Chain A
């Protein structure tokens, strides 16, 4: 590739190394660290031996990663992250602990002894002081009362009871007590921060346990701070103490059924496409696909009534070589696959879909965003769709969203796009054109992505014209981010539609609409949320009459572990360091301050940890009038789970 000719070999290696790992957070952060991303020197700068002796970083001579096996690449010892090495050792111990929790009987002192030191102690793992924070017929939610509200004497005496392996056994017994009738118990510990000190190492982890019984379900979520011995080489670390920093327990007493029940099979099983396609994951089709670009899984969906019978139908986009599917709902709630009949079983690599009345003739037309452009089809008497036009946009089209931005009575379209594919740049055979493949990508503030398009509806009779109005409306500004999604909303309650764009690798946009002209006010109103934006949803979560925004980002335990190390990017200015740490912090809830600005309340609302989040959606799950949040997450699961 052309660009490589001008890049130093070292730099190329670093880039490739990042690519090889994909966008895994560890790679991302290690990459930033090793490459000295923010030092003023250019690609030749290397992290050398740290003079303070805290951390050894290899001298920059990186083995050609193409020659390394996957497991070698994952070995943090090679990357010079001793804390990651420690984390792997601690992880093994925590896995043992989690396994003990899900056994029939609470773990005995004997079984716990190999995990703890002789002088181990812990706070009660099921906090003694708890209060109800929410209660209705379905949920009973309790949280630990903060230490400050508990008398000091009470705290101390509680501690003394839980010493040694015996104490831990006792603490776990009471923690598991609410699950005594549970049949299925799932427990997990995930470390998100590691802090080395002189004689020990402290880790923070999320603890979660859930169980199901005849009477109902229980789930617990807590943050544990664990102090470990510094292990001698070749030995496992042991826990010196566990402290519970916060604790929440939710119980429901409505029998063994969960609130939502999976009815997929009953709805879809009469269709061949269910067994032949939908019950298989993308991995199967990736074995044979000849498309190589950005195949991270893009099964977009739209719900709408396409045949006008008052029942909602469903359209599903699929990747290259597997057809898009249209299902029509029957009276009994099941679905019939009519994709071929309706002429919409396209094999093109499709991402997103909208069902809308574009020509105001009262039926639902179809818009499909696919790799290469945007397709517009008209609804022909509720019997089939007819392709009217295919608009060429940026290739890497992601989400679509529609609104009548100019209030002229018809719906206009906005297409988000991710990777910019300049003509000269070929696909890199190693990357499959993953985002990391882009050269000069500044992870915390990337400005080399594809352009999004505003497509103005100019349908007149049989002429289904849409015109690219991006430039003339001011939306071409700040329009080269890696955009995954956008959503329209009148955030300032002035009667027109504003637009929030969620961007990966950096700042989001909030385009304020004034008479059909847009200005990006994201920075100005505190809505830029510079992180790994992947989805956006709006809702008035606090009943104040102003729409609040919730943005899906990436929460990565590895990213958190590394970015919050004291030695992570020691030389970077604090603001930059903060930006990078922000990248892995997770989802964001922006509280609308009466249309003037937004306040980031994510931490206080405890809605950050949505993991590798794609769609997020405000939805009132329990009809109590308060908007809840559903977060769909998970990047790539394969049979080989050597994950971070």
Chain B
């Protein structure tokens, strides 16, 4: 529940910056930890790092991205310019070399004889190398400008570019502390004119953010809300969801919650708008859950004072439980329900919108048609922010799978809570999902399979069989489904169908031994001994310690008058289980027959 439950793991870790101490012999090849001095040691959940000389002032600036806030950081390098650099932009010919020259290796060859040391142990390497890469680190691409820090060296002998196709080209006459464009085949480094600009950027202030505002969450997957009950203020159980001529807003509130009261006031003031839009509201106080039956009067009084014109009552524990499972099945976050929370159902009892925090009446009016929109439209509305949806087969598959997962989760959580009837309804609803993507279909199939098993556990064989059949419709290539439908059909006395599905199961998964056993039994029952023999034989190889299989194989052989072989099988059965009376009886019979044959 990491993340969903709001806990931290390896959180608030500070970024690490290691300074290369170069060839100073005292440094011993060991980097130094300069995390704090560089000012980069943020406790952010860091992800990508992009390197670029953003302000083109001759040093490397950084863009960092984070999981948490702020999602982006621009870190300007403000080192004094006491060391030298050269920056190069490569241009490939666009035919034998990609135009960006990604993959090029660049060598800068230096002359150190005129260097003025600013470092106690300056670099002395004659050649420095860099490569031009696209995509490095994690989720990051840096600038295509190739930047060489040159240390104290102030003379560049030449620059050699190994273009990605293997050709090497030298560029001469480059000066330190300049930016150049190197065009393939030109052998000339062109100085890049620095743009005429001044960059003055203020340092960021550390601002505190306010609390997360309330959330209106139009849903993509439209789950059927199970039948729910609440208590009216007289303590009588009332059904919430059975009678509905239009959308229904279930609102959870408490007398001690100020935003709740303001919200109920809003509903009251605009009751005409709400009513004429055909929306019904039921405001359910949760106070009774905490304070007991006495709380009802107080809640009723608050509403009476307000002149609240809609239905009201008290929430039950079961109702909260189901609403919470709904939210948890639909949303990533496992956060508890805040107050107020509202659920908008469409006229046919499907959950369309969740409101965490107060509902604005205008939003509510807009949302009453949400459930009648297409999946894509619902997706677009469900986004936290404005943007555009990619519409394409590949992206649709992901959307469909998400929808299937929501159904799966909810049906399963109802099942886990022991709410069988509600779970059944949900599974039935899921069966209606019309998905084109194979992944989503398979997911729904798995759900139906699960449902079938539940129904079978209740000995409701015909419904179980029909669920299994639906699973096969969605995903015909699953041996497990065929096998189960085989078992169920046999229970229902339909041997022919059972046989077909066992055969299908074996075709898909030849190693499914139980299917062989059951199929062989059916064939035996139908006195198709030759075929039965074939399957029993396969099973006997897979289960060499199962006496009954050898016995059955023996019978199948005996029925074909293959007495010699049959007696071998009965002997094998008796070897495994010496007091197997049926086997020994049959063996006697076999011996008898063999004697007669000899005569």
28 A-B Cβ contacts within 8 A?
A22-B2, A23-B9, A24-B9, A133-B21, A134-B120, A208-B36, A260-B62, A285-B384, A288-B333, A290-B402, A300-B47, A301-B65, A322-B385, A356-B100, A399-B137, A423-B443, A432-B1, A488-B133, A493-B105, A535-B138, A601-B29, A623-B81, A624-B22, A624-B151, A625-B150, A628-B19, A635-B11, A641-B12
Instruction: Say how far B583's CB is from chain A's closest CB, in angstroms.
Output: 31
Q: Which of A252, A276, A324, A615 contacts B47 (CB 8 A)?
A: A615
The residues of A that contact B199 with a CB separation of less than 8 Å are 332-333
Roughly how many angstroms separate A365 CA and B331 CA in the complex, as a whole number?
35
**288-308 of chain A: CB within 8 A of chain B:** 288-292, 295-304
| Residue A245 at the chain B interface, CB threshold 8 Å | no
Roughly how many angstroms separate A109 CA and B5 CA in the complex, as a whole number?
43
| Residue A250 at the chain B interface, CB threshold 8 Å | yes
The residues of B that contact A578 with a CB separation of less than 8 Å are none
**B102–A356 touching, CB < 8 Å:** yes
Task: Determine the residue in chain A with the shortest Cβ distance to B136.
Answer: A487
Most-contacted residue by chain B among A290, A322, A355, A375 (CB, 10 A): A290
**1-49 of chain B: CB within 8 A of chain A:** 1-24, 26-41, 43-49
**405-447 of chain A: CB within 8 A of chain B:** 407, 409-411, 414, 421, 423-424, 426-427, 429-430, 432, 434
The residues of A that contact B257 with a CB separation of less than 8 Å are none
Instruction: Say how far A144's CB is from chain B's closest CB, in angstroms.
Output: 12
The residues of B that contact A333 with a CB separation of less than 8 Å are 54-55, 197, 199, 201
Roughly how many angstroms separate A102 CA and B82 CA in the complex, as a whole number?
34
| Residue A199 at the chain B interface, CB threshold 8 Å | no
Q: Which of B64, B77, B406 contacts A621 (CB 8 A)?
A: B77
Most-contacted residue by chain B among A329, A332, A352, A630 (CB, 10 A): A630
**B49–A632 touching, CB < 8 Å:** yes
Roughly how many angstroms separate A213 CA and B419 CA in the complex, as a whole number?
64
**B66–A615 touching, CB < 8 Å:** no
The residues of A that contact B188 with a CB separation of less than 8 Å are none
What string of 1s and 0s marks CB contacts (under 8 Å) between A457-500 and chain B? 00000000000000000000000000011111110010111000
The residues of B that contact A509 with a CB separation of less than 8 Å are none
Task: Determine the residue in chain B with the shortest Cβ distance to A620.
Answer: B149
Instruction: Say how far A335's CB is from chain B's closest CB, in angstroms.
Output: 9
The residues of A that contact B418 with a CB separation of less than 8 Å are none
| Residue B303 at the chain A interface, CB threshold 8 Å | no
| Stretch in contact with the other chain, from B68-76, B294-302, B585-593 | B68-76
| Residue A567 at the chain B interface, CB threshold 8 Å | no
Roughly how many angstroms separate A138 CA and B19 CA in the complex, as a whole number?
12
| Residue A55 at the chain B interface, CB threshold 8 Å | no
| Residue A573 at the chain B interface, CB threshold 8 Å | no
Instruction: Say how far B83's CB is from chain A's closest CB, in angstroms.
Output: 4
Q: Which of B15, B103, B413 contacts A631 (CB 8 A)?
A: B15
Task: Determine the residue in chain A with the shortest Cβ distance to B439.
Answer: A423
**112-169 of chain A: CB within 8 A of chain B:** 131-139, 141, 143
The residues of A that contact B393 with a CB separation of less than 8 Å are 390, 392
Roughly how many angstroms separate A317 CA and B390 CA in the complex, as a whole number?
14
**A260–B66 touching, CB < 8 Å:** no
| Residue A503 at the chain B interface, CB threshold 8 Å | no
Decide: A484 near B138, CB < 8 A? Known: A280-B209, A426-B408. Answer: yes
**A261–B203 touching, CB < 8 Å:** yes
**B137–A347 touching, CB < 8 Å:** no
| Residue A9 at the chain B interface, CB threshold 8 Å | no
**B84–A360 touching, CB < 8 Å:** no
| Stretch in contact with the other chain, from A41-49, A229-237, A264-272, A448-456 | A264-272
Query: Interface residues of A toward B: which range?
Result: 35 or more
**A332–B10 touching, CB < 8 Å:** no
**A288–B217 touching, CB < 8 Å:** yes
Instruction: Say how far B408's CB is from chain A's closest CB, in angstroms.
Output: 5
Roughly how many angstroms separate A493 CA and B127 CA in the complex, as a whole number?
15
Decide: A290 near B76, CB < 8 A? Known: A300-B65, A312-B52. Answer: no
**A615–B9 touching, CB < 8 Å:** no
Instruction: Say how far B446's CB is from chain A's closest CB, in angstroms.
Output: 6
Instruction: Say how far B30's CB is from chain A's closest CB, in angstroms.
Output: 5
Most-contacted residue by chain B among A25, A217, A361, A619 (CB, 10 A): A619
The residues of B that contact A642 with a CB separation of less than 8 Å are 7-8
Decide: A281 near B66, CB < 8 A? Known: A371-B398, A423-B438, A625-B150. Answer: yes
The residues of B that contact A105 with a CB separation of less than 8 Å are none
| Residue B382 at the chain A interface, CB threshold 8 Å | yes
Instruction: Say how far B152's CB is from chain A's closest CB, in angstroms.
Output: 8
| Residue B464 at the chain A interface, CB threshold 8 Å | no
- What 6 A-B pairs have minimum CB-CB distances, sorted nearest first? A258-B39, A297-B67, A22-B2, A632-B46, A401-B135, A323-B387
**B446–A426 touching, CB < 8 Å:** yes
The residues of B that contact A107 with a CB separation of less than 8 Å are none
Roughly how many angstroms separate A556 CA and B10 CA in the complex, as a whole number?
8
What string of 1s and 0s marks CB contacts (under 8 Å) between A88-121 and chain B? 0000000000000000000000000000000000
Roughly how many angstroms separate A210 CA and B3 CA in the complex, as a whole number?
31
Task: Determine the residue in chain B with the shortest Cβ distance to A413.
Answer: B135
Most-contacted residue by chain B among A250, A537, A605, A638 (CB, 10 A): A638
Decide: A617 near B40, CB < 8 A? Known: A264-B204, A401-B134, A624-B149. Answer: no
| Residue A244 at the chain B interface, CB threshold 8 Å | no
| Residue A21 at the chain B interface, CB threshold 8 Å | yes
What string of 1s and 0s marks CB contacts (under 8 Å) between B418-445 and chain A? 0000000000000000000011001100
Instruction: Say how far A502's CB is from chain B's closest CB, in angstroms.
Output: 8
* Total number of B residues with any Cβ neighbor in A under 8 Å: 187
**A250–B395 touching, CB < 8 Å:** no
**B131–A404 touching, CB < 8 Å:** no
Decide: A354 near B143, CB < 8 A? Known: A289-B332, A321-B384, A621-B38. Answer: no
**351-368 of chain A: CB within 8 A of chain B:** 351-357, 360-362
The residues of A that contact B84 with a CB separation of less than 8 Å are 623
Roughly how many angstroms separate A227 CA and B290 CA in the complex, as a whole number?
51
| Residue A519 at the chain B interface, CB threshold 8 Å | no
Roughly how many angstroms separate A80 CA and B308 CA in the complex, as a whole number?
57
**A629–B137 touching, CB < 8 Å:** no
**B166–A495 touching, CB < 8 Å:** yes
| Residue A58 at the chain B interface, CB threshold 8 Å | no
The residues of A that contact B46 with a CB separation of less than 8 Å are 614-615, 632-634
Most-contacted residue by chain B among A138, A497, A607 (CB, 10 A): A138
Instruction: Say how far B385's CB is from chain A's closest CB, in angstroms.
Output: 5
Roughly how many angstroms separate A351 CA and B138 CA in the complex, as a whole number?
10
Task: Determine the residue in chain A with the shortest Cβ distance to B63.
Answer: A301
| Residue A538 at the chain B interface, CB threshold 8 Å | yes
Roughly how many angstroms separate A400 CA and B134 CA in the complex, as a whole number?
8
**A303–B209 touching, CB < 8 Å:** no
**A260–B40 touching, CB < 8 Å:** yes
Task: Determine the residue in chain A with the shortest Cβ distance to B51.
Answer: A619
The residues of B that contact A424 with a CB separation of less than 8 Å are 442, 446, 478
**B151–A630 touching, CB < 8 Å:** no
List 5 additional contacts besides A137-B118, A312-B145, A543-B127; criterion CB under 8 Å: A264-B72, A278-B69, A347-B385, A434-B2, A610-B16
Task: Determine the residue in chain B with the shortest Cβ distance to A251.
Answer: B37
The residues of B that contact A202 with a CB separation of less than 8 Å are none
Q: Which of A421, A537, A552, A634 contacts B439 (CB 8 A)?
A: A421
**B29–A617 touching, CB < 8 Å:** no
The residues of A that contact B493 with a CB separation of less than 8 Å are none
| Residue A20 at the chain B interface, CB threshold 8 Å | yes
| Residue B457 at the chain A interface, CB threshold 8 Å | no
Roughly how many angstroms separate A390 CA and B20 CA in the complex, as a whole number?
42
**B397–A372 touching, CB < 8 Å:** yes
Decide: A332 near B200, CB < 8 A? Known: A250-B37, A303-B141, A545-B127. Answer: yes
Roughly how many angstroms separate A333 CA and B63 CA in the complex, as a whole number?
13
**B99–A360 touching, CB < 8 Å:** yes
**135-189 of chain B: CB within 8 A of chain A:** 135-145, 147-151, 153, 162, 164-166
The residues of B that contact A619 with a CB separation of less than 8 Å are 51, 60, 62
| Residue B97 at the chain A interface, CB threshold 8 Å | yes
Most-contacted residue by chain B among A248, A402, A628 (CB, 10 A): A628
